[in-house]
Homo-oligomer: A and B are copies of this chain.
Amino acid sequence: MLSERQRMILNAIVDDYIRSAEPVGSRSISKRGDVTFSPATIRNEMADLEELGLLEQPHTSAGRIPSIKGYRYYVDHLVTLNGVGDQDAKKLRTFFAEKMNHWEGVIEHAATILSQLTNYTSIVLGPEMFSTTLKHFQLVPINDVSAVAIIVANTGHVEHRTITIPEGIDMDDMAKIVNMLNDKLAGVPFYKVKSVLHSEIAKELSRYVEQCEGILTLLEETITEEQEPKVYLSGASNMLTQPEFKDVDKAKNILGMLEETQLLMQLFQSNPGGIQVKIGTENALEAINHCSLITATYSYDGQSLGTIGILGPTRMEYGKVISLLNYLSKDIANLMSRWYK
């Protein structure tokens, strides 16, 4: 357990370091006003905090910087959420006032705004299909051999994919089957589509239509095909403004990772909902062991839809970012309700 004074000092060090990116010395803390002790006293406390693993020294005779553990304590106990500034709130409001008519437009735009407001990199995972239900399924023929399958989810999210129709399949049969599928599958969650198809529909269908096997397999593949949620990235170049990445090699590591959608999705795994802060080595990926990732899930009607994340150096403005994510994820939820209620 830390004493009140130790907490004040830790708080001061983290705040200072977040602002300046340079090791914080005892003198500068003593001069801050909110800590009224002499440099010598502060030095003693700092030595203690270092022994506890909350601070680190880059080298002897340098100031102290927070360790991962130090940041963790700061985030858990010390950080002050001063809400969203007037400037930022205004920007967000005008953002939501704009007319948006894609789902994707909103998400993508939200990513942009976030990276602008924070000067960090924002990563947004689009709606996750597996927690939503099928609303409507449709085939639009393009020519003799191909068609566009259109899949609408109850959230209003739309997917389309082009399929090639094998020879020897009758288009009328196809149409019948599609109709039936719509009857039976409307309202079924995506992850259940496969089993419902097999258990309920297959038998009934075989009565009406010849060679339904082939058609059904095709449609099943089409609907349940691996649907990676889309990842939107914005402000990746903001990483380069951080002094900790003035070394091109480090920067390249991170930017390279940001380009790999697969890895990004790994990052977002295991989200219990709400806001989560992962600091430095708490992150799964080694490439961002010098970064912190703050994530928030946005949801509609109690259903988690996707995830928003902000990636920055461990020396991140935790208070500001957390407030912002809080604000935004709630507003996105409201926006959804207004649309799809």
Contact = CB atoms under 8 A, between A and B. Distances in A.
Interface string A313-327: 000000000000000
A270 B255 CA distance: 31
Contacts of A252: 237, 240-241
Nearest to A142: B156
Give chain A's interface secondary structure class: mixed
Nearest to A234: B259
Interface string A156-186: 1010111110000000000000000000000
Contacts of A248: 240, 245-246, 248, 251
A95 to B, nearest CB: 17
A70 to B, nearest CB: 27
B146 A136 contact: no
A164 B339 contact: yes
A236 B251 contact: no
A126 interface: no
A31 interface: no
A146 B255 contact: no
A254 to B, nearest CB: 8
A140 B150 contact: yes
B251 A162 contact: no
A138 interface: yes
A246 B246 CA distance: 10
A251 to B, nearest CB: 6
A258 B162 CA distance: 29
B160 A150 contact: yes
A148 B137 CA distance: 12
B237 A161 contact: no
A222 to B, nearest CB: 8
